[in-house]
Amino acid sequence: MKNILVTGGAGFIGSNFVKYLLQNFDYNVINFDKLTYAGNLENLTDIEKDPRYTFFKGDICSEQDVEKALTENKVDTIVNFAAESHVDRSILGPKEFIVTNVIGTQVLLEAARKLGIEKYLQVSTDEVYGSLPEDKPELLFTEKTPITTNSPYSASKASADLLVNAYYHTFKMPVLTTRCSNNYGPYQFPEKLIPLMIAKAVDGQKLPVYGDGKNVRDWLYVEDHCSAICEVLHKGKIGEVYNIGGNNEWYNIDIVKIILKILGKGEDHITYVKDRPGHDRRYAIDSSKIMKELGWAPKYQFDGGIEKTIKWYVENENWWRRIMKGEYLNYFEKNYSNKM
């Protein structure tokens, strides 16, 4: 049986991925996570007793932690989700993004090289391609779109991608990279658009929409991202990049209105606030490579996925209420006080 190290497995996508692996494959899964503000072991209570699952508390920037986890667990495969992932926090404080996302990736790559890991998959993002013009809807990000980064977050993720590529060319490392569009689904930290708007709508509070609300994001249900990563891991061509997306573009304001409608709430709490600095206007992914070459297709339609997500947040109020206090409130104040 293969031993797979999933870094960032206590975060939103990582925890969904750990469960997806255990449900669909025979892997021993080692969840390696530092448990930053975004890491939450509550996301994994339903599988924590599975004998194929192990948790290792560690930092991807620590050579010692990484080598210990890899050798102790005889790891042969690494999937790297661990990152600082929120654009707004990268604007408030870029340094942690460079440390975790760049140095952390290099530490993982170096340990993987030293220990002869069989496969390394880097979970990247469509944000490395910059922003698409809104007046050319036919334009999509392909794997050949030049890297153009506009936020400290996207710059750090792109730097990590370049390192992965360098390790492939220089050291012939068996690497793969995926670049996905915006995910939504259960266990997403309530600083991101969809869970934040659900929480604010449930509580009858202001829903802060940046700028004119006409920025476009391409939304994919998290389980579809997990299935795509598995296809790339199992069938992808070493050294290559695969885009992942749902062909599902929406204006932010329409997402907010859909959430309010499903929750049976009016639109009077929608509040347009000062825009995010450097706000990318439009993301849209061309997934034809992964669809044609690896036979992947998303399973969820947006209407079903968003209903399922909202239902989960309504039924798991305690999960997000426990998060939305303490440090979270300090962050909220810092990010929104000069916007509202």
Q: Is 209 in the site for ligand DAU (CB under 6 A)?
A: yes
Dihedral of CA atoms 294, 295, 301, 307 in degrees, nearest 10, equals -60
Nearer to ligand NAD, 68 or 206 (CB): 68
- CB 247 within 8 Å of CB 287: yes
Q: Which does 222 bind (CB under 5 to 8 A by kind): ligand NAD, ligand DAU, none?
A: none
Cα distances (Å, whole numbers) of residue 153 to 85, 121, 128, 149: 7, 19, 9, 9
Q: Interface residues for ligand DAU in 73-112 (CB under 6 A)?
A: 85-87
In terms of CB distance, is 96 or 269 closer to ligand NAD?
A: 96
Within a 13 Å sphere around the CA of 208, how many CA atoms are in the beta-carbon half? 16
Q: How many residues bind ligand DAU (CB under 6 A)?
A: 19
Q: Cα(176)–Cα(188) distance, rounded to whole angstroms? A: 25
Residue 173 three-state SS: coil
Please answer whether residues 115 and 72 qualify as being in contact, where contact means their C-beta atoms are separated by less than 8 angstroms. Answer: no
Per CB under 6 A, 196 contacts ligand DAU: yes
Q: Provide the minimum distance between the beta carbon of 230 and ligand NAD in the complex, in angstroms, as a whole number.
A: 15
Among 21, 60, 121, 193, binds ligand DAU (CB under 6 A): 193
Taking contact as CB under 6 A, which single stretch among the options 59-67, 70-78, 130-138, 272-280 is the one that binds ligand NAD?
Answer: 59-67
Report how far residue 103's alpha carbon sits from residue 160's, in angstroms, rounded to the nearest whole number.
8
- Out of 9, 58, 185, 208, the only residue in the binding site for ligand DAU (CB under 6 A) is 208
Least distance from C-beta 113 to ligand DAU, angstroms? 26
One symbol per residue from 35 to 54: x for binding ligand NAD (CB under 6 A), - otherwise; what is it? xx-xx---------------
Angstrom distances, CA of residue 82 to CA of 102, 103, 157, 290: 11, 12, 11, 23
* CB of 180 vs ligand NAD, minimal distance in Å: 4
Instruction: Based on the shown chain and the rule CB under 6 A, indicate whether residue 331 belongs to the binding site for ligand DAU.
Output: no
- Tell the smallest beta-carbon distance from residue 297 to ligand NAD (Å): 18
Tokens 């061509």, residue?
A: 237
Question: What x-and-dash track marks residues 127-146 binding ligand DAU by CB under 6 A?
Answer: x-------------------
- Residue whose beta carbon is closest to ligand NAD: 11
| Contact between 30 and ligand NAD per CB under 6 A | no
CA distance 313 to 90: 26
Q: Which residues are catalytic?
A: 126-127, 153
Q: At what angle do helices 193-202 and 252-262 cross, to 10 degrees?
A: 40
Please provide the DSSP assignment of 74-97 as one string.
T--EEEE--S---HHHHHH--HHH
Q: Which of 6, 19, 33, 259 binds ligand NAD (CB under 6 A)?
A: 33
Comparing CA positions, the residue from 89, 119, 339 lying closest to residue 189 is 89
For binding to ligand DAU (CB under 6 A), which residues are involved?
85-87, 125-127, 181-182, 192-193, 196, 208-210, 215, 217, 252, 276, 283
Q: Which residues bind ligand NAD (CB under 6 A)?
A: 7-8, 10-14, 33-36, 38-39, 59-61, 81-83, 85, 100, 104, 123, 125, 157, 180, 182-183, 189
